[in-house]
Amino acid sequence: MTAKSAAAAARATVYGYPRQGQGRELKKAVEGYWKGRVDADALRATAAELRRANWRQLAEAGIHEVPTGDFSYYDHVLDTSVMVGAIPARHRAAVELDALDGYFAMARGTQDVAPLEMTKWFDTNYHYLVAELGPDTVFTADSGKQVGELKEALALGLTARPVLVGPVTYLLLAKPAPGVAADFDPLTLLDRLLPVYAEVLADLRAAGAEWAQLDEPALVQDRTPAELNAAERAYRDLGALADRPKLLVASYFDRLGDALPVLAKAPVEGLALDFTESAAANLDALAAVGGLPGKRLVAGVVDGRNIWVNDLTKSLATLGTLLGLADRVDVAASCSLLHVPLDAAAERDIEPQILRWLAFARQKTREIVTLAKGLAQGTDTISAQLAANRADLASRAGSPITRDPAVRARTAAVTEADARRSQPYGERTTAQRARLGLPLLPTTTIGSFPQTAELRTARADLRASRIDTAGYEERIRAEIGEVISFQEKTGLDVLVHGEPERNDMVQYFAEQLTGYLATQHGWVQSYGTRYVRPPILAGDISRPEPMTVRWTTYAQTLTSRPVKGMLTGPVTMLAWSFVRDDQPLGDTARQVALALRDEVNDLEAAGTSVMQVDEPALRETLPLRAADRATYLAWATEAFRLTTAGVRPDTQIHTHMCYAEFGDIVQAIDDLDADVISLEAARSHMQVARELAGHGYPREAGPGVYDIHSPRVPGADEAAALLRKGLEAIPPERLWVNPDCGLKTRGWSETRASLENLVAAARTVREELVGS
């Protein structure tokens, strides 16, 4: 096909779409099912209607080929485990008894059975459930979900393309099942898994699928020759199948690198590649391998992870270059639109001028359709859209909102000494122990306590003027008093005020810093039914006034035990926001760090002796390619130290991280120079404690003993067993006892029981240590 005919054939498509619905109907239905207020049929009906609504919106916007199979009650990787029959032994009975209840048990656990481990999906804030595999794993095909959803879309008269997690990515993201040797490589199961994929593909073809998409984002990471050989073998075998749809192999989040020639040569009919800024090298690499003659190329030129309007002229230039490199070029977002909110038009509180700069999922689909039309029919047919787009880009570039000379001058004046504590850890810890007087194995929590319906109602009442500020603050004081009283009675050593006034650990601070914008309806799925509203980082950052001092110091007046000041760190403030794309991330991180430094210093001046600066996103934001990591870690760790380095030696600085693979960043954790770090460890059975010990980490650490993302209450014996395992790696004088994460999403009854058991476990193990 010539470049001209490839352009004429251009179509618009997407890889996935937000699942929740405009009013988060899916969250409400699923949680209603868990609580017994919604039955299974009603839940399924809500889900089916949400799918239909999504497909209709896409088709009406001009999307030519809609995705199916991307919808999920909880997580698409868990859906893949169900599709291939990889059900952990401890969950099989529940799944056989009731497939839906068993599905949610794998995600959340039960009082008697632990859930699957949860971790971050590449470098996003989406969490997936990790498959547990071993040498005895037997795969069996269950294509019911994929076939059923395809038939639903086809029944609406739509052109539909099923989307599956690819077999190589599925195995590369899996872990050895409990009891299996730690060095077991799930990729050795590839030959056992491929026939199951072949069966699913045959079922999809029989159901009417012309194309099927297999997502292989794991191939954008550094891969060994053996892993690349596995990818080559997988798509050689799948491509050779006679009974299958045409195969579109998709990658996103970064450049493909050495995997590109492997996939380009594979006997599949198409590739989907990311051509946004982070993966721009894909264009030259594609040309270097001779393009994709005779194949379909789906070009991800619209950023599927951020919310700024696309530069349509620039994207058209990229698409024009690609026309000569494939038989057919289609237009898409760089990845699933799962990672952005649904509709910017719903935001009534953002100034109309600024709203023109934003593109959520619906706006991005229109951009994709516009680009496909311009590519197929010529730019004259989209001249009005191009002119409006140029005006929007110029409006943002020239807006005074984006630049504050005072902030830039302060940032430019930062020196290396500003990011260094006045004394090394060995000297600081002596001063801190003398000031705090804590016991062996000190107990604490991560920060938040349950956000009850009463607290959410109070915030809603304040926004609606049903109560005044004085009434709202009285409710907050009462909640803090209850939280402090409970912690004292339970016997926790370092307390928190519980954060009842906070709506979200990022949004709360963003609403008090200049340069950030908040949304009302910008919900994005983090995991399961947990949705967040990432703020929008639009301009230079500063702190007009203290943000947390008032409530922290109030809590301290209620107890003689230390109360931690709780802040969200600069890297997480970036990672869990939609960041500006008009300056380097490191520059923005330094601005946020200086604003937080002012807060840290004010907390210390008010008498706070312990402060926790959370950085759960430090690992999440790590570049997918090793070659890109040193630069990132340099500015990320500097930003943390810039936030915390101004305090006295006897002020103890904590940080917290959760639900990520920490082995890659142990040196960076060391470079933060925090006095104490708490980390998720319960689901991974203290793996991180062993990783810290292997590195020779010299500071204090609290690997979690209570998995807060499950409703189950761990017994005191269970927590004590985890503590003993932690002590195998971390000496008792440096081991803390804490949950995995904050308790915001839990109920009070399970929180009380779990923390009482946690404290009892610490006492038991402490007595064992003293007795020995």
Three-state SS across 263-297? HHHCCCCEEEEECCHHHCHHHHHHHHCCCEEEEEE
Residue 425 CA to chain centroid, in angstroms? Answer: 32
pLDDT above 90: residue 222:
yes
Rounded-to-integer distance, Cα 121 and Cα 627, Å: 20
From 127, 339, 654, 709, the catalytic residue: 709
708 — pLDDT class (breaks 50, 70, 90): confident
Mean pLDDT (the chain, rounded): 95
CA torsion sign, 718 to 720 to 723 to 725?
Answer: negative
pLDDT of 455 reads 87
Q: Are 222 and 254 within 8 A, CB to CB?
A: no
Q: Are 402 and 579 within 8 A, CB to CB?
A: no
Q: What letter represents residue 279's amino acid?
A: A
Summarised one tens digit per residue, pLDDT across range 415-440 is 999 999 999 999 999 999 999 999 99
Q: Are 671 and 637 within 8 A, CB to CB?
A: yes
More confidently predicted of 2 and 206: 206
More confidently predicted of 653 and 770: 653
711 — pLDDT class (breaks 50, 70, 90): confident
Listed residue (252, 239, 249) closest to 270, CA to CA: 249
Task: Determine how many CB atoms are found less than 10 A away from the CB of residue 684.
Answer: 24
Dihedral Cα 568, 569, 575, 581, nearest 10 deg:
120
Q: How far is CA 497 from CA 171, 517, 561, in A?
A: 42, 27, 12
Report residue 411: phi and psi, to 5°.
-65, -40
pLDDT of 540 reads 97
Residue 8 CA to chain centroid, in angstroms? Answer: 38
Give burial (CB, 10 Å; 0-12/13-18/19+) of 151.
middle
Give alpha helix (H) positions in 293-424: 312-322, 352-355, 361-377, 383-397, 405-412
Listed residue (240, 363, 150, 266) closest to 251, CA to CA: 266
Summarised one tens digit per residue, pLDDT across range 321-360 is 999 999 999 999 999 999 999 999 999 999 999 999 999 9
Question: Taking the model in full, what pTM does it have?
Answer: 0.91
Range of lowest pLDDT (540-549, 612-621, 653-662): 653-662
Establish whether 709 is a catalytic residue: yes
The pLDDT > 90 percentage for the chain reads 92
* pLDDT average, residue stretch 580-590: 96
pLDDT of 5 reads 57
Rounded-to-integer distance, Cα 427 and Cα 392, Å: 54
Range of lowest pLDDT (408-417, 446-455, 623-632): 446-455
Residue 735, strand partner residues: 701
Helix (H), strand (E) at residue 262: helix 259-265
Q: Are 325 and 6 within 8 A, CB to CB?
A: no
Rounded-to-integer distance, Cα 306 and Cα 536, Å: 9
CA atoms within 13 A on the CB side of 95: 19
Summarised one tens digit per residue, pLDDT across range 49-106 is 999 999 999 999 999 999 999 999 999 999 999 999 999 999 999 999 999 999 999 9
Looking at residue 526, what DSSP letter applies?
A: E
pLDDT of 241 reads 97
pLDDT above 90: residue 452:
no
Range of lowest pLDDT (42-46, 165-169, 448-452, 491-495): 448-452
pLDDT of 7 reads 59
Task: Determine how many CB atoms are found less than 10 A away from the CB of residue 458.
Answer: 22
Summarised one tens digit per residue, pLDDT across range 282-294 is 999 999 999 999 9
pLDDT of 459 reads 86
Looking at residue 309, what DSSP letter applies?
A: P
Rounded-to-integer distance, Cα 584 and Cα 664, Å: 23
Q: Is 150 helix (H, G, I), strand (E, B) or coil?
A: helix
pLDDT above 70: residue 678:
yes
681 — pLDDT class (breaks 50, 70, 90): confident
Helix (H), strand (E) at residue 655: strand 652-657
Rounded-to-integer distance, Cα 11 and Cα 16, Å: 16
Measure CA of the first residue to CA of the last residue in the chain; give whole Å: 79
Rounded-to-integer distance, Cα 247 and Cα 93, Å: 35
Listed residue (688, 648, 692) closest to 670, CA to CA: 692
pLDDT of 4 reads 60
Listed residue (346, 370, 369) closest to 358, CA to CA: 346
Classify each residue of 257-279 as buried b or exposed e, where b means 16 or more C-beta atoms within 10 Å of its C-beta: bebbbbbbebebbbbbbbbbebb
CA torsion sign, 745 to 746 to 748 to 752?
Answer: negative
Summarised one tens digit per residue, pLDDT across range 294-315 is 999 999 999 999 999 999 999 9
Rounded-to-integer distance, Cα 411 and Cα 136, Å: 56
Summarised one tens digit per residue, pLDDT across range 126-153 is 999 999 999 999 999 999 999 999 999 9
pLDDT above 60: residue 6:
no
Summarised one tens digit per residue, pLDDT across range 116-125 is 999 999 999 9
Rounded-to-integer distance, Cα 360 and Cα 341, Å: 5
Summarised one tens digit per residue, pLDDT across range 397-421 is 999 999 999 999 999 999 999 999 9
Tokens 């909880």 identify what position?
74
Rounded-to-integer distance, Cα 421 and Cα 251, Å: 43
Rounded-to-integer distance, Cα 655 and Cα 614, Å: 5
Rounded-to-integer distance, Cα 12 and Cα 544, Å: 45
Summarised one tens digit per residue, pLDDT across range 191-206 is 999 999 999 999 999 9
pLDDT of 661 reads 75
Instruction: Tell how strand 514-517 and strand 536-542 pair up.
Output: antiparallel
As a whole number of Å, the CA-based R_g of the chain is: 26
Distant-in-sequence, close-in-space partners of 343: CB < 8 Å, separation ≥ 6: 22, 360, 361, 362, 363, 521
Q: How many residues does the chain have?
A: 772
Task: Determine how many CB atoms are found less than 10 A away from the CB of residue 384.
Answer: 9
Residue 246, strand partner residues: 211
Which token pair is 605?
A: 């001046």
pLDDT above 90: residue 211:
yes
Q: Are 564 and 496 within 8 A, CB to CB?
A: yes
Report residue 355: phi and psi, to 5°.
-60, -30
Rounded-to-integer distance, Cα 410 and Cα 405, Å: 9
Q: Are 496 and 444 within 8 A, CB to CB?
A: yes
pLDDT above 90: residue 597:
yes
Rounded-to-integer distance, Cα 198 and Cα 188, Å: 18
DSSP letter for each residue of 140-164? ----HHHHHHHHHHHHTT--EEEEE
Summarised one tens digit per residue, pLDDT across range 173-182 is 999 999 999 9
Rounded-to-integer distance, Cα 648 and Cα 601, Å: 9
534 — pLDDT class (breaks 50, 70, 90): very high
Q: How far is CA 523 from CA 25, 396, 482, 529, 658, in A?
A: 12, 23, 30, 11, 21
Q: What letter represents residue 761's amino acid?
A: A
